[in-house]
Structure 1
Amino acid sequence: MTPVDRHHPEFRAAARHFDRHIGRRRFLTVTGAAAALAFSVGLPAAGSASAAELDGKRIADDPFTLGVASGDPLPGSVLLWTRLAPRPFEPDSGLPPERVSVFWELAHDERFTRIVRRGRATAHPEFQHTVHVEVDHLDSDRAYFYRFRAGDWISPVGRTRTAPAEHARPAGLKLAAVSCQAYHDGYFTAYRHLAEEDLDVVFHLGDYLYEYAVTATGGARAYTDRRLPAVFNRETLTLEDYRLRYALYKSDPDLRAAHAAHPFVVTWDDHETENNYAGDIPENDVPPEEFLLRRAAAYRAYWENQPLRAPQRPEGPDMRLYRRLRFGQLAQFDILDTRQYRSNQAYGDGWQVPGPESEDPARTMTGETQERWLLDGWRASRATWNVVPQQVVFSERRNVPTAAFKLSMDSWDGYPASRRRILDGAAAAGVDNLMVLTGDVHVGYGLDIKADFRDPASRTVGTEIVATSVSSGKDGSDRPANYGDLTAANPHLKFYNGRRGYVTVELGPDRARADFRTVAAVTTPGAPVTTAASLVTEAGNPGLTPA
């Protein structure tokens, strides 16, 4: 990975500012310092706005090039998103630094003959002309259609839905889980198929974009009919870099189709900021103020470009992304952030022999506050299924079936005491049907979560469903090179496949079913989708078996 450019003018100026005025590394944990950081990288304080307003009729080109999205469904509320970008590959997106009035409509039907709500929102230049609209007082457990208008331009139509009421007992819920979509590794073919699935919600489990450079030919996409601008052929460091990279990713028609078809619930992993960072510790040896400036820019661009509600809006380099959603009495979703608060990886961030450093009981994957929030939420839960969408593999994965095995220090295996506290908390709360949804590793896994991974005969206490990547890792294969070692070393591993795609999960009162949907290739577009395997787990009887 290319190291951070310490000589970048923006970083040098900001570093001098903090060297003069703030003497401790953790200056960013206080509100005033976060505001100072925001000022230093050109991030407006919350509530600021441009005084000038642009007449929408002066927008000469389609501003809805990046599509529409919705997210975080509640029983009586939906969150709608769009971003105005007539020329998305330019730093200003083709708009002057003036605010724009954007009108929105929500309807029962796709032709908008039965409009339920309408209103006006403001797209501020300080937020790259993004719009986040929270529409309340809606019927629960119902599909809606939405669209935006700016001047004479009308956006594509999106479809979303609200969650069931708090005490409702829905007959079922179908979700999809996706992760890891490196633009330069291939086409987002999986998203085209995902858009055609009958789903209630999609969970994105991290690595929505990658910070690495993208060549003029789109990397593995190998474009012959176009060339990408040089602004993408560098690593993302600044707010402008991250905003442009989201524009590149959201220019993909298959990704836009998936967002328009289903509400998304998103959480990040590392590449939305930088590979394998841990809390305020960067991958490379750069001064902490430089990395936290970068983290602030990455977090800001993430919120701007995702369908997230107001409580998730960042302050400087801090953003509360963990949150809880409920779908009646059927399912509670506790969405985690395993990057922002974790201890630094032990023994580096690769595969290592576990030892005293990794097994230190003080180590944490979630941070104390988030851990307490999760366990308290389980104690209050009345849901049949308690589902944890998060980033890195939760279950143990030994790399070889011998005593000299290694574990991934970037996953929960590098934080076994933190995992133990989570499992003990689930047991104490009486969580019978624990399901962990995971991304990160560019393969599909079905895993039984064991009470004691050192003892294959120990009780199974939950299931883990790992979604493969959308494109990261290029085409992949049905049986990766380490298939034999990994399956022999981990008897709780019930399924392993290395193709690209996504996973769907149907939750019902009595059982859950996971279908691992894969495509044969992503380096060429248009591959069909197939089901590599289907696994089920019964309510009250955890453990995966073939469907």
Structure 2
Amino acid sequence: MLDLSNLRAAVRSEGGVSRRLFLAYGAALAALPTVGERAFGRVARQPKFSADPFTLGVASGDPTDTGVVLWTRLAPKPLDEAGGMLPENVEVRWELADDEGMKTVLKTGTVVATPQLGHSVHVEVEGLKPDRWYFYRFQCGGATSPVGRTRTTPERSSTPEKLKFAFASCQHYEQGLFTAYEHMAKDDLDLVFHLGDYIYEYPNRETAKVVRKHVGPKDGKIKTLEDYRNRHAQYRTDPHLQKTHNRFPWVVTWDDHEFDNNYANDIQEEQPKGKVKADPATFLEQRANAYQAYYEMMPLRKGCVPNGPDLKLYRSLAFGRLAEFQVLDTRQYRTDQPNGDRSSELNEDALNPKNTILGAKQAAWLRSALLKSTSTWNVLAQQVMMGMADLAAGESKKYSMDQWPGYAHERMKLMQWIADRKVPNPVVLTGDIHSNWVNDLRVDDRKLDTPVVAAEFVGTSITSGGNGVKEPKNLDTLLAENPFIKFHNRQRGYVRCAITTKEWRSDYVIVEDVLKPGAPADVRASFVVEAGKAGVTKA
């Protein structure tokens, strides 16, 4: 058992978390037995299971032109402690083939699933051919997993004809069925992007609006590692979510609910009443639990193994020279939301140059990645809306402080930098707010006489908020107040995109009813961006 009392005291004595102490605390929390391909102690090569150990399915992710990550987690009883697994190292065999019947096995190997990482498996397969579909499966203790399908990206120097992908976010298990994934799994896609809120940390709620109940504590949000593991496992038992993971490689990033609503770095949303502030050391312990469970359940590379409460998630993914995606993390490094995290005018606090949503290191990495890109489309896959939407009617002005307007100086500086460097065809993909938006982005969206710099496609939730509304109240007022907004809708679904060297097309797929199984889906609206021409038009 680690003795962290002295380190906690040092963290608390500073009244916050310095970078030095933050990293030291993270290193202490990470001082567990080595994880990954090396495992110490006995390895069970023929374990016995009381039930199918592959109840959570299989997944793949973060493809390159020569490789991909294959994932599974052993959990014969997924909602029990440790998933029903004994605290022992277990050998798992993996196979990758050319065909779904797994007759032509091209690569195979073994990996050790450790109890330290919840018996999750992350296999990084390399030496594959570019722009190819493959099939894979796992075997352990006489059990065989479902066969998954994955692919590599086109060769980095090539220019493929088309890329087809979907992006989604915000899937509250209690508030609806994952019918959107039932439809997405039938689409002809190359990739799926998930932009955050994969799980929700809230306690089980006894309300009429609950479609199905969360597991976990009834008297508060989940906090322990076991809590977060079980919540992820419950979500992953959904057959439609499993199917979509099974059919396409995913690229994931988080928002807030994977840990705690509207958190900012080491600052929690709900502060204790009175003069005593929340303890950042305790909060970071909880963050370490959340981050570890997230890594365990996602098809991420071993370079993302968390170091205590620190997990580097921002990264690049290229699809030949057609598109390059910069996957961002707008939660882990941000400063506290200004104006008490309440909708506000763009006052001195909101425009403070010290506010950051990316953090200095990630911001520098992003600029470097955009400068080096040779792709036709340059995409930011991220969480919160960049469009500076005035949410108040009339002369008063109100902007969301949890979104990029709360960090308006950094946002406008980034847009100006993209404009000055003439970054080709910038597009922003966004989740978070349980509604659909299409925005033309300027350096300052309040100045409509200035050039459009980028397009932003904001996707609605899979289920969060329950069934939305087709025609939001005061929609005309919202559009009149914000002429840069080209579309707004509050139903549920996802966004399906198809891009070529000449055009980007986004289809807004709407599920009619997330409260009943088998609901139909249709395309509510489609929008196009022409390469070399800033601005969105309706298809």
TMscore range, shorter length: over 0.9
**1:137-191 deviation per Cα after TM superposition (whole angstroms, max 9, x unaligned):** 0001111111111111111111111011110000010111100001111111101
For residues 380-529 of structure 1, what are the structure 2 equivalents within 5 Å?
A: 380-529=372-521
State which drifts further: 405-414 or 281-290. Answer: 281-290
Q: 1:127 to 1:28 in 2, by over 3 A?
A: farther
Q: 1:373 to 1:56 in 2, by over 3 A?
A: same
Q: Residue 124 of structure 1 corresponds to which residue in structure 2? A: 114
Amino acid at match of 1:151: G
Determine the C-alpha separation between the residues in 2 that align with 1:246 and 1:132: 16
For residues 41-440 of structure 1, what are the structure 2 equivalents within 5 Å?
A: 44=33, 46=35, 49=39, 51-215=41-205, 220-222=210-212, 231=217, 234-285=220-271, 286-440=278-432
Q: CA deviation at 1:55?
A: 4.2
Q: CA deviation at 1:381?
A: 1.1
Q: CA deviation at 1:343?
A: 1.1
Determine the C-alpha separation between the residues in 2 that align with 1:55 and 1:232: 38
Q: CA deviation at 1:46?
A: 4.8
Q: Contact 1:399–1:406 at 8 Å: present in 2 too? A: yes
Q: 1:321 to 1:452 in 2, by over 3 A?
A: same
Q: CA deviation at 1:313?
A: 1.2
Q: CA deviation at 1:420?
A: 1.4
State which drifts further: 481-490 or 435-444. Answer: 481-490
Q: CA deviation at 1:35?
A: 2.3
Determine the C-alpha separation between the residues in 1 that align with 2:246 and 2:62: 14
Determine the C-alpha separation between the residues in 1 that align with 2:141 and 2:62: 28
Q: Contact 2:426–2:454 at 8 Å: present in 1 too? A: yes
Amino acid at match of 1:265: V
Q: 1:251 to 1:353 in 2, by over 3 A?
A: same
Determine the C-alpha separation between the residues in 2 that align with 1:213 and 1:463: 37
Amino acid at match of 2:238: D
Q: Residue 274 of structure 2 corresponds to which residue in structure 1? A: none
Q: Secondary structure at the match of 1:432?
A: coil
Task: Tell me the number of residue pairs that the alignment of Structure 1 and Structure 2 aligns.
Answer: 530
Q: CA deviation at 1:442?
A: 0.3
Q: Contact 1:537–1:544 at 8 Å: present in 2 too? A: yes
Q: Residue 275 of structure 2 corresponds to which residue in structure 1? A: none
Determine the C-alpha separation between the residues in 2 that align with 1:517 and 1:257: 18
Amino acid at match of 1:404: S
State which drifts further: 260-269 or 454-463. Answer: 454-463
Determine the C-alpha separation between the residues in 2 that align with 1:171 and 1:505: 14
Q: CA deviation at 1:523?
A: 1.6
Q: Contact 2:150–2:247 at 8 Å: present in 1 too? A: yes
Q: Secondary structure at the match of 2:17?
A: helix
Q: Contact 2:196–2:432 at 8 Å: present in 1 too? A: yes
TM-score, scaled relative to structure 2: 0.94
Q: 1:531 aligns with which of 518, 523, 531?
A: 523
Amino acid at match of 1:446: V
Q: Secondary structure at the match of 2:244?
A: helix
Q: Secondary structure at the match of 1:213?
A: coil
Amino acid at match of 2:159: R
Q: Contact 1:450–1:461 at 8 Å: present in 2 too? A: yes
Q: Contact 2:43–2:112 at 8 Å: present in 1 too? A: no
Amino acid at match of 1:409: M
Determine the C-alpha separation between the residues in 1 that align with 2:215 and 2:369: 47
Q: Residue 3 of structure 1 corresponds to which residue in structure 2? A: none
Q: Secondary structure at the match of 1:474?
A: coil
**1:44-72 deviation per Cα after TM superposition (whole angstroms, max 9, x unaligned):** 55567452333434113100001111000
Q: Contact 1:50–1:125 at 8 Å: present in 2 too? A: no
Q: Secondary structure at the match of 1:202?
A: strand
Determine the C-alpha separation between the residues in 2 that align with 1:307 and 1:115: 21
Q: 1:398 to 1:438 in 2, by over 3 A?
A: same
Determine the C-alpha separation between the residues in 2 that align with 1:546 and 1:123: 49
Q: 1:400 to 1:427 in 2, by over 3 A?
A: same
Q: Contact 1:28–1:317 at 8 Å: present in 2 too? A: no
Amino acid at match of 2:414: I
In the alignment, structure 1 residue 33 sits paired with structure 2 residue 19: no
Q: CA deviation at 1:27?
A: 5.5
Q: CA RMSD in A?
A: 2.1
**1:385-428 deviation per Cα after TM superposition (whole angstroms, max 9, x unaligned):** 00000000011110134331100000001111110121122123
Q: Contact 1:75–1:139 at 8 Å: present in 2 too? A: yes
Amino acid at match of 1:260: N
Q: CA deviation at 1:114?
A: 1.5
Q: CA deviation at 1:21?
A: 8.5
Q: 1:383 to 1:218 in 2, by over 3 A?
A: farther
TM-score, scaled relative to structure 1: 0.93
Q: Contact 1:375–1:429 at 8 Å: present in 2 too? A: no
Q: CA deviation at 1:23?
A: 4.3
Q: Secondary structure at the match of 2:466?
A: coil
Determine the C-alpha separation between the residues in 1 that align with 2:29 and 2:95: 37
Amino acid at match of 1:183: Y
Q: 1:196 to 1:32 in 2, by over 3 A?
A: same
Q: Contact 2:93–2:111 at 8 Å: present in 1 too? A: yes
User: Gapped runs of 5+ residues in structure 1?
Assistant: 1-9
Q: Contact 1:183–1:218 at 8 Å: present in 2 too? A: no
Q: CA deviation at 1:482?
A: 4.0
Determine the C-alpha separation between the residues in 2 that align with 1:477 and 1:216: 24
Q: Contact 2:203–2:216 at 8 Å: present in 1 too? A: no
Q: Contact 2:12–2:281 at 8 Å: present in 1 too? A: no
User: Gapped runs of 5+ residues in structure 2?
Assistant: 272-277
Q: 1:230 to 1:499 in 2, by over 3 A?
A: same
Determine the C-alpha separation between the residues in 2 that align with 1:404 and 1:170: 48
Determine the C-alpha separation between the residues in 1 that align with 2:426 and 2:200: 30
Determine the C-alpha separation between the residues in 1 that align with 2:125 and 2:66: 8
Q: Contact 2:35–2:114 at 8 Å: present in 1 too? A: no
